[in-house]
């Protein structure tokens, strides 16, 4: 049932949100010259996939987890995108393709070995990664791997339709601060 909802919400989100996506893309062209950010992430069962987001950092920023990046890398437009969570909109494409869910553990980088280990130990990597979830609405990010993996496991153990909608509504209404970058909390 959740996969069906993911598919429908992402399809309609992309169709009806296309004008917004287009405007953000054009503004991003002026901001960085390369408005779309693609990065390989850990997917379900550790299968790699290419995550798509709007770029919020300068093009020459090192490919590291957000909490390890320099705050000076974030552009002015990127700060707006992060604050409003609009940088996440292109991930609806990942959801439509079945690589992600709207609700699930945030996909990490393959270099985040401690987090991967903690998630493997708790079975978290058996689930489709998501755009939002329990950790995100409670401001728990990848800088605390064990806590994040525990929170992800708790969310997955209790995930039902009511919780699915709850996390989506909490995210849309502004709960959670998104990925932290040092100096930008």
**pTM, whole model, 2 decimals?**
0.85
Tokens of 8: 């429908």
| Torsion 60-63-65-68 (CA) sign | negative
Please tell me the predicted confidence (pLDDT) of residue 160: 95
| Radius of gyration of the chain from its Cα atoms, rounded to whole angstroms | 15
Question: What single-letter DSSP state applies at residue 75?
Answer: -
Cα–Cα–Cα angle for 45, 141, 23, nearest 5°? 90
Cα–Cα–Cα angle for 83, 86, 91, nearest 5°? 130
Interval 145-181: pLDDT, tens:
999 999 999 999 999 999 999 999 998 887 765 555 4
Interval 17-49: pLDDT, tens:
999 999 999 999 999 889 999 999 999 999 999
| Torsion 169-51-61-140 (CA) sign | positive
């Amino acid at each position: 049932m959740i996969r069906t909802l993911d598919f429908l919400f992402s399809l309609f989100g992309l169709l009806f949100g296309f004008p917004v996506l287009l405007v953000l893309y054009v503004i991003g062209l002026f901001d960085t010259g390369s408005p779309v950010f693609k990065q390989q992430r850990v997917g379900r069962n550790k299968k790699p996939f290419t995550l798509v987001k709007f770029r919020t950092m300068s093009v020459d920023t090192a490919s590291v987890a957000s909490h390890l990046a320099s705050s000076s890398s974030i552009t002015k437009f990127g700060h707006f995108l992060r604050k409003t969570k609009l940088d996440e909109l292109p991930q609806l494409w990942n959801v439509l393709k079945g690589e992600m869910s709207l609700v699930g553990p945030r996909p990490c980088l393959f270099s985040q070995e401690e987090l991967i280990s903690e998630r493997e130990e708790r079975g978290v990597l058996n689930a489709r990664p998501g755009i939002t979830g329990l950790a995100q609405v409670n401001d728990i990010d990848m800088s605390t791997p064990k806590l994040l993996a525990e929170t992800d496991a708790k969310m997955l153990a209790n995930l039902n339709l009511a919780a699915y909608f709850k996390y989506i509504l909490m995210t849309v209404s502004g709960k959670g601060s998104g990925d932290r970058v040092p100096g930008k909390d």
